[in-house]
Amino acid sequence: MNENLYAEYPEAYDALYAEKDYEGEVEFVLSQFEERVNSESDALRALVVGCGTGEHSKRLRERGFEVVGMDKYEAMVERARTKSDAEFRVEALPDLPVAGRFDLVWLPFTVVQHLDPDDLAAGLRACADVLADDGVLIFDQLANDGGNDPRLWTYPSDQGTYARLVQIHEVGDAEYRWDSLVFTPDGEFFVDAHRLFDHDPEYLAGVCDVLGLSLDLYGWYDEDAEPGEDGHYVFVAS
């Protein structure tokens, strides 16, 4: 998989997801965190695994967390560094070479779905291993419908309009390939392809149980949404 959107075009990534509700997702995470962690510390630490261009990390930093953001793509990390004074590193699960413990570990926006099933348990264990004793681990999963009909979206930006033509293919048991053709405002285009896995929620719950974590399930970053509504989940483990 070339994953060019992540590897080469972070500015296009920001344009395509400019309307994403980063603020609402951070507010949900902080609400869940505050319900579970009774701390008066001024030095709370957050680890964002799969930080992308740093939008979640920036908002956590603005709320006083000491933040470490990690992403496997150098281009994403370089762009993230322009947005806040959080610490950003080029790293990827299932390895997690960080020092110390974190009060909050967050894998946002389908990060676990980029993990091959063979690496899933090891990746979650690596996250649990750096979690503080009363810390909170949060990750999510979006359903893939596997539809073969191409879809076209447009994204206005300050630079002009981006467009993305997407076709999703089911290529294995709960495994999907997203094939995209992205057109930029300056008349160029690039191909992007990546795999996502729909992991069994019961298996994910079982992994958390083995790791000694209790688990609550929600809809997509909304306390009032039913878990699994439209196939979307947010997992909150502590």
- Residue matched to tokens 């990827």: 92
Report H helices in 10-131. 10-16, 22-36, 55-62, 74-80, 117-129
Give percent helix, percent strand, percent coil of the chain, each to the nearest 5.
30, 35, 35
Q: What is the pLDDT of residues 86-140, one digit of tens each?
A: 999 999 999 999 999 999 999 999 999 999 999 999 999 999 999 999 999 999 9
pTM confidence score: 0.96
Q: What is the pLDDT of residue 145?
A: 65
Q: Residues near 35 by Cβ (< 8 Å), separated by ≥ 6?
A: none
What tokens does 118 get?
């063979």
Q: What is the pLDDT of residues 6-55, one digit of tens each?
A: 999 999 999 999 999 999 999 999 999 999 998 777 789 999 999 999 99
